[in-house]
Amino acid sequence: TKELLSEIKRIFKLKSLPKRVEAFDVAHISGSNPVGASAVWENGKFRMDEYGFWFSDEGSELEALRLSISARFAYEKTLPDLILIDGGNSHLNAALKAAENFKNRKFFIISAVKPPRKHGEISHFLTETGEKILFENDSEAFRFLKKLRDQAHAAANFVHRTSRDFSHFYELAAVLPNVNEKMRREILRKTGSINNLKNSSFENLKTDFHLQTAETIRRDLENYKQTGGRKITPPIIPIRYHD
């Protein structure tokens, strides 16, 4: 581990050994519902218990990255010695912008740039001093940084895919936010589908439900048609099994 850290320190001209390294990446589909995630390595071990992820309403990948890094610093006191960003110069600048509030910061920020149409590889690294460092496959330090980058990439994609796959379970809560879940299921059973519910008239609702419940449903439906409803983010709880 010490040899690995010494190699990274030498390559990137760091002032001290990077005993804690954190990588960040953002997953999205055409800029929609981006999810930022981080992977952590410290003192020779991947700290999976400290991997993090953040949902964003931003339509910009760069802004989602900046907000994810800012959010990570907002709750975690332990600071990294080196931050690795997946992306090019614009992603590096977004990370540097997130770090602007840190006076006398000691951690260094670099980005791993992918070659064209080869998203699983790294062509070179960019440093915040503007230096370009070519990736070398025979370098243990570069292979380690790539693995950490891949961990952040996999975490971002997993959370994004999971939230997307489960989002339809929460559509009913978005349509009827002022009704409890037990009543939502009863309403869905009687109306047959969410589409039928959306098209239900107040007269039909009064026939099937108590007047107070029908009035609540009517208000929620009107609000949903006007605003699209409140966005419901599925709760995602990372669970890892160890021998």
**pLDDT tops 80 at residue 216:** yes
In this model, does residue 31 exceed pLDDT 60? no
Tell me the pTM.
0.75
Higher pLDDT, 46 or 170: 46
Task: With CA atoms as reference, report the closest residue to 28 among 157, 117, 215.
Answer: 157
Neighbour-count burial for 206-242, b at 16+ CB within 10 Å, e otherwise:
eeebeeebbebbeebbebbeeeebeeeeeeeeeeeee
Flag whether pLDDT at 121 surpasses 60.
yes
| Pair 148, 45: CB distance under 8 Å | no
Q: How would residue 141 be classed by pLDDT, with cut points 50, 70 and 90? A: very high
Given pLDDT bands bounded at 50, 70 and 90, which one contains residue 162? confident
pLDDT given for residue 93 in this prediction: 94
Give the DSSP H or E segment for 215.
helix 211-227
DSSP H/E element including 82: strand 82-86
- pLDDT digits over 65-119, tens only? 999 999 888 876 788 999 999 999 999 999 999 988 777 788 999 999 998 888 7
